[in-house]
Structures are given as structure tokens and as C-alpha cells.
Amino acid sequence: MVDRITDIWGERTPHPRGTVWPARVDLHLEEGVAEGDVERWVQSACLLCSNGCGADIAVKDGRMVGVRGRAGDTVSHGRLGPKGLYGSTPWASSPDRLTRPLIRKDGELVETDWDTAMGRIVEVSKRLLDEKGPLSHGFYTSGQLFLEEYYTLAVIGKAGLGTPHMDGNTRLCTATSAAAFKESFGADGQPGSYTDIEHCDAIFLYGHNMPETQTVLWTRILDRTRGENPPRIACVDPRRTAVAEEAIRTGGVHLAPRVGTNLALMNGLVRELFVHDWVNHAWVSEHTIGVDELRETVDPYTPEHVADICGVAADDLRAAAQVFGESSGVLSTVLQGFYQSHQATAASVAVHNLHLLRGMIGRPGAGVLQMNGQPTAQNNRECGADGDLPGFRNWDNPEHVQQLADAWNVDAMTVPHWAPPTHAMQIMSYAETGSIGFLWISATNPAVSMPESARIRRILAGDQCFTVVQDLFLTETAQLADVVLPAAGWGEKTGCFTNVNRVVHLSEQAVQPPGEARSDLDIFLMYADSMGFTDRDGAPVVKWRTAEEAFDAWAIVTAGRPVDYTGLSYEKLRGPSGIPWPANAEHPDGTDRLYTDGVFPTDTDYCETYGHDLITGGAVSEQEHRAMAPGGRAFLKGAPYTPAHETPGDDYPLLFTTGRTVYQFHTRTKTGRARSLNQAAPDAWVELSPTDAAELGINEGDWVRVESPRGAIEVRARIGRVTPGAVFAPFHYGHWDPDDLTDAEHRSANELTMTVWDPVSKQPTFKTAACRVTRLRAGEGPAPAPTNTASAPAPGTPTRAPATGGGAATSSHVLDETPHYALDPSQEI
């Protein structure tokens, strides 16, 4: 049996460029359960990263007892990562599941029935509507609900209540992905495809530790780099990750910029394309606007100037630019190292600039993947639960607003469009003052995941705002709520979710939820019914009762929009494993990659946004946009580098940055209850460079205090592979722990981070906080960090033995069969 805790990516299946990625089916069952014992396999997809790997759920005796990859899946070709294998099902039978509603009484949360709990919610909601109107209501949701639930919530908020105060924790993860797409291409939506990995000859990863955040996608890349005609890898990351190691092995480049200087680096790369004439002038002339302004913006960023700002060698910058400029096909991926850092949107747009200048978009092996962090983040953005209008519509376009008003049969003035949607950080500020007096939080844990978490806890615990939380467990956030609603989780309900590269999966209900727990859809429907939201004819605004009916209603409002689902249905999604949108009459089997004709959704009457100034966030008006006459051409947009909001000084000489580890997901609600995963990364730690550790007198495993102007944590030190001057901490750990660790009250990384956000995407800046580190005492051994990931110790540092996957059955086997879609690079699925 393969232990996927120690062997994270599993068996290699190398193949040459231009050929299909071979299938390999991964399987894990609970200890004591054999394949023959499984009573049913239920179609689904993995919910523990954004990759969207097709999976079947194993059911025995009414319980979920394991998972198996789907060999014909569009995304994964049968594979699953460690979190998917070991973390998908144990949480479901955890004894601390919420099974009944809770209400706060005399300062304590006590069990009650659904009618009482919902009655309390509706009483407060109606009172605030009467006293203050819809601006008194806010909703903060997730990237882990189903499409049908997001759309239902969007209709409640936009057509029932009429509040603009809606967002999701996707604001923290990948709001910059959507913002960058809108700025460059006119609308959200991944241009590229995972199949580009099979056809490219270079892969650039910008702030993307893919080996830990999307393990199966990294497996796909490894199977190219270990095969014939491998692509070269370029890595932009201040840590020496597995991506950096692979870049060196393939003859590529590792660029390790100082934290907060990404845009200067990107401007230097773009300048090199101009200097060496690695530009497809004919394509740029026909399909883009803004090239002259971009050339002028990046001109000062010589390799030597970039080296001064970023701390990278000028020749390394030249080498990376040469790889991009001379390759026939480049795939770029981007994630939190850009999204959560300074000048996030501008840096991410600069990735698009590189591709547009070379005409490397819309063809096999040439594309961009601005990645997501959660399995259904894309659905939140599509459906409008994040504040945007459903279907990638423009809130500043009256015709788009009217389309939704007609679809919902409400007055257009009910649909909030008089100002930009309220982003998550602003929602919390309104809740802090009591301007928002009713805040509904679903499937997320902001008390741990939001920046400056002590402030967030004070807001949620205060009397100025009535807080509702629906979740699987009594999380750190739920403990502060006025009402807690027990929700059904993955496998306990039916719904769809869409992954990073637009692939839609159907997840069928496999088992019943515990006790009185209900699906998020049923909870939202109960609220809508109890509030009596009606349309202009007096009929319910929310007209569906089932997940399938909600999906069909959603598909109707996507007609004619970039995110077109009209060719999809539950019937079509059953059986085949993953279909990418747009899927419609023109593309009945879905669309592998966008913009194959070089036409972008930038027309003024069609686009999702008119754009913004990348430095200030100032909005471009409809008149200004129309005057530019984009007419289906992409925007080349640039901005100068500026220093980060908070830079090191005498009191706080280091820069604090947060991130992820392969064995935990978000705030560990699921993975912390999977014994093998939690044992592999059981407690928080902080990573220091050997240089900084030596200057501070810190040894491996020592207890240290890491402090910023906002707060502090006390954790053990890993002498690791970060660049000097940087301090890295995983953000997953709050005060909850399955083993009741005594130090759990002092380890939340977001105690240190800032309430500062990008001016365009409004994504918080988690990665540029000034800090200082002080040794407290010697440890009893090495830090609790993994040794087979980017958190591995520096050479010569003593470590603990790695955990294993335990005694349960885990297997992988390579198959001759291939996924169902066509593999000829001239075809599209």
C-alpha cells in the first residue's frame, strides 16, 4: 500500500509532450473496510482544494468510509491528493458534529429546535429591516458551499432584501484572480486549461506553491517534467519550495523576490520582452490596446533596478525572461504569493501582459491559470454571493441590472447597484460600528482566517451586531454567535461545484446528515419562506425547492453571458466526470479553453467591469471605457511599483508572511479531524532563515515569540528555507485542537496581519507585516513542521520523523484507459 502522507504525489506516470496524461486511480478506505465491503459508490468530486478532482464516495452501513478517484475524470484522471484521500470523510462521523440549533441565552449557547432558532433570526431581521432598511443586513459566506446554495443566497440578498453587503471568504483567497481577469479581459473566467500542461514547453508559477496547494495538478506537471521533451519550470517564490527545486532540475529559474516586491519583478520581466523584441506585434496590434502606455510604464525597470528592489540577481531575471520570450508555449499559474501580497491586482495583471505581448493565450500549451484556493470559489463569484451580480454582469450597467430584475420579477431598484458591492473587510467594519446589525456567516471561520483576528473576534462577540453562524462544528467563530445552525456537509447533500478551470462536477448525496442538521440550501429556503420574500406578483422570490431546480434556474440567468451553463443539467452531469463551461447549443460538450479566436468580453455593453486604476483603485467610467473602444480587444495595463504599507524598521526588522501546508486545509475544520493528516502537521510553527536564526540565537525547535504592531504568537521555530528577512507561518491554526494542546491560545498567525487591502480586488494583504522574533526558551525537540515539504529544515537541522498514513487501506494503480475527452490538441472538449 502507498503511504501518501510521506509520498505526497504518488507513483509517477511520465509521458512526452503532446500526449495524454495516463490515468492512475487512487483509493483510500477506512481501516477494516475492504473494497468488497463497500455497498455503494456515489459520484462526487473532492472538496479539499480548488483542483476539483472527480471522486466516488464509498458508503457502508449508512456512513461514508472512503473515496476513490474517477479514472475518466476530466480534471484528475483518477488521482486524489493526501487531503482528499485521508480528509474527505473522517470529519463526517466526528462526535463533535453540530446536530441541533443553538441560541444564546443568558450569555451561553444552548440547544433548541429549528422553529425557535429561525424564529429568533427572523424576528431580528424583520425588526432591523423596519428600523434601518436592507443596509442593516450583511452576509459572509464561503468557497465551500454548492453552486445552488450560492445562487439561492444571492437571490435572497439581492432580490429579497436588496442589500449590497454580501461577500465570501473568497475575498481572502482569490478575489484578485477575478479582478485581474476583469481588468485584462473584461470578465472573470479562466482562459487556460489543465490540458495546457500536456502541450507547453515552459511553466511559470508565480507565488504558487502548487505541490502543497494543488497536489494532483503538481503530479500532472511532474509527469511532464519526468517524461520526454519536458517543459522548463520558472518559480517566483521567497521560499525554496518543491517548485523551486524542480525549476533548478529542469534548467529553469528560481526567482526569490523580497516579500512585497512582486510588481517590480513583473515590470522587469515585461520590459525584457520589449527590449529583446519577444513580442508578437501583429497579434498585439489586432487583439489588444494599451501597448505604448505599458512600454512606457515598465521602461525604468531594468534588471539592475529590479535587483536593487527585489533582491534577485539581474542575470536571473534576464534568464527567466528569456525562457518566457523564446518558448513556443508557456503556461502560467498564479496564487496567494501574488494575491495576498502588496499590489496584488497589478502584479497579477502583469502576468497577463506577458502572455498578451507574446500572443500566448487561447491555444494548446499557451494559457493562464489564475488559481483559486477553495473548491467552489468560482461558483461564489459566478452566482453573485460575493457581491458581484450573477452571470458576470456589470453592476454599473443598467441593462445588466434589468436583466436580473426581469428574471427575478422584482423592481430593478431592489437590486443593489447604486455603488460597488461591499467587500468583506468593509462588511466587518460596518458590523464593528453596528451599521450592519445582522450578519449571517456560513461555512467559514473568520475568527481564525481574517487578518488582525483579535479585532475580528471583538466584532463578532460584541452586542452591536446580531450574528448567525451555520457550520458543521462549533468553530471559533460559531462560539461567538447569537444563533448557530447545524449544516449538512459534503456527501450529505446534493449540488454542483466548479473548479479552477471552469469544470463543473455534480456531487450526489451519499448519506443522511446527523441529527437535525440541514443542507445550506434548505436553511436558506427556510429563512426566505419565514421572511415572506415575494416578487411583484406576490409569488415567492425563491421559486425552487430542490437543488436540481435551483441549478436549472441558475442556468437560465447565464444565457448569453460568458459563464453560460444553458447546455448543462443534472442529467448531463451524471455519468461523465466534469464538463467545463461555457456549455450551450454552440458548445454542447463544454469548452476546454477560452479566447481561441482572440476575442475578449471587453465590449462596453457586455463587459463585467469598466476597469480601474491599478494604483488607486479608482473606477473607469462607462463613458471613459466606451471612448477607448475596446471592441473585443484585451487591455494591456501597467502600474509602477510602490513600497508596501508596512516595511521593516528598528522595532520590527523582519517581514511576516503567511501560507499553507499540504496536510491542512483552511482552519482545519475537516483536516484537523483526520488523524493521519493532523499528525503530519499537528501544531503551528514559524520558519526563519539560518542567517536570521543565528543572529537571534534561535535553534531548531526553540519556542519563540513573533510580534507585530497588532499582536503576537508563541510557537516553535523551524530553521528553514525562507529568504533572509522573511518569517513564514501557516495560517491554519486557531485555538481549537483535537488534542487540546496547551499552547493553542497563542498560535493564530492572523493575530499579526494587517487590516489593509488591495485597491482593486479588495483582497487583504496577509504577506507584508513587519515583525520581530524573540527566543523564549529551548524546545523539547524539532518544530512540528513537516520535513518533506517547503517547510523542510535547512541542511543539517535535526528533525522529527514524518508521520504516516496509518493502517487503513490506500492504493494507487495505473490504468491503460484514458479520460473521456479528446486529446488531439487541435480539438476542444
Q: Is residue 587 part of a domain?
A: no
pLDDT of residue 370: 97
| Assigned domain for 648 exists | no
* Residue 457 belongs to domain with CATH number: 3.40.50.740
- Mean pLDDT, the chain, whole residue set: 95
Domain count of the fold of the chain: 4
Picking from 568, 512, 611, 480, the residue whose alpha carbon sits closest to that of residue 148 is 568
Asked if 181 and 501 count as a contact pair (C-beta separation under 8 A), the reply is no
Say whether pLDDT at 730 is over 80.
yes
Helix or strand run (H / E) with residue 5: none
Look at residue 807 and tell me whether its pLDDT is greater than 80.
no
Judge whether residue 800 has pLDDT over 70. no
Per-residue pLDDT at 342 exceeds 80: yes
787, 799 in Cβ contact below 8 A?
Answer: yes
User: Which grid cell sits at 734?
Assistant: 486557531
Whether residues 518 and 623 fall in one domain: no
pLDDT category at 829 given cuts 50, 70, 90 is very low
Question: pLDDT, tens digit, for every residue of 113-152?
Answer: 999 999 999 999 999 999 999 999 999 999 999 999 999 9
Same domain, 327 and 411: no
Does the pLDDT at position 444 exceed 90? yes
Which pLDDT value is given to residue 825? 30
Q: 736: how many CB neighbours lie within 10 A of its CB?
A: 21
Whether the predicted pLDDT of 580 surpasses 50: yes
In a domain, 120, yes or no: yes
Per-residue pLDDT at 710 = 96
Say yes or no: 397 and 484 in one domain: yes
Q: Is the pLDDT of residue 799 over 70?
A: no
d(CA 63, CA 32): 14
At 272, which helix (H) or strand (E)?
Answer: helix 262-275
CB 768, CB 645: distance < 8 Å: yes
Assigned domain for 646 exists: no
Could you list the residue range(s) of the whole structural domain that residue 49 is in? 2-93
Residue 524 to residue 153: CA distance in whole angstroms: 7
CA dist 571 and 100 (Å) reads 34
Same domain? 183 vs 128: no
Domain harbouring 233, CATH code? 3.40.228.10
Predicted confidence (pLDDT) at residue 409 exceeds the cutoff of 60:
yes
Strands 202-206 and 483-486: unpaired
Q: Which three cell numbers stand for residue 477?
A: 467563530
Q: Are residue 158 and residue 258 in the same domain, yes or no?
A: no
70 and 37 within one domain: yes
**Among the three residues 93, 128, 155, which one is the final residue of a domain in this structure?**
93
Residue 668 CB contacts under 8 Å (≥ 6 apart), including other chains: 678, 732, 733, 734, 736
Distance of CA 412 to the CA centre of its chain: 32
Residue 645 included in any domain: no
What does each C-alpha distance from 809 to 55, 65, 588, 673, 724 come to in angstroms?
A: 16, 11, 39, 18, 42
**CA torsion sign, 116 to 120 to 125 to 127?**
positive
Record the pTM.
0.96
The predicted model gives 61-89 an average pLDDT of: 97
pLDDT at 828: 28
pLDDT in tens, 693-725: 999 999 999 999 999 999 999 999 999 999 999
Of 522, 548, 563, at which residue does a domain stop?
A: 563
Q: C-alpha 249: how far from its chain's center?
A: 28
pLDDT at 820: 34
Instruction: Return d(Cα 526, Cα 27) in angstroms, integer.
Output: 38
> Peptide bond before 802: cis, by omega within 30 degrees of 0?
no
pLDDT at 738 (0 to 100): 86
Taking residues 722-733, report their average pLDDT. Answer: 96
pLDDT in tens, 732-754: 999 998 887 767 788 999 999 99
Q: What is the DSSP letter of 223?
A: H
707 forms beta bridges with 712, 772
Q: Cα–Cα distance between 515 and 486 in angstroms, integer?
A: 9
pLDDT of the residue at 815: 54
Task: Examine the pLDDT at 675 and tell me if it is beyond 90.
Answer: yes
**Is 189 found in the same domain as 66?**
no
Q: CATH no. for residue 9?
A: 2.20.25.90
Tell me the average pLDDT across 283-307. Answer: 98
**Cβ partners under 8 Å of residue 741, min gap 6:** 682, 683
Assess if residue 126 is contained within a domain.
Answer: yes
- Report the CATH number at residue 787: 2.40.40.20
pLDDT at 823: 29
Query: Is 195 in the same domain as 328?
Result: yes
pLDDT band of 589, cuts 50, 70, 90: very high
**Residue 322 counted as domain residue:** yes
Pair (412, 523) in one structural domain: yes
Which element (helix H / strand E) includes 182?
helix 175-185
Residue 154 to residue 160: CA distance in whole angstroms:
9
Q: What is the pLDDT of residue 739?
A: 82
The full length of the chain comes to 829
Where among 93, 120, 149 does a domain terminate? 93
- In the predicted structure, residue 181 carries a pLDDT above the cut 90: yes
Do residue 343 and residue 196 come from a single domain? yes
Instruction: Give the pairing type, strands 137-141 and 166-168.
Output: parallel
What's residue 821's pLDDT? 30
- Kindly report, residue by residue over 276-294, the tens digit of the pLDDT: 999 999 999 999 999 999 9
> Tell me, what's the pLDDT at 412?
98
Shared-domain flag, residues 167 and 191: no
Q: Are residue 169 and residue 179 in the same domain, yes or no? A: no
Task: Give mean pLDDT, residues 190-196.
Answer: 97
Q: Which pLDDT does position 744 carry in this prediction?
A: 74
Mean pLDDT of 428-435: 98
pLDDT for the residue numbered 346:
98
Please indicate, yes or no, if residue 238 is contained in any of the structural domains: yes
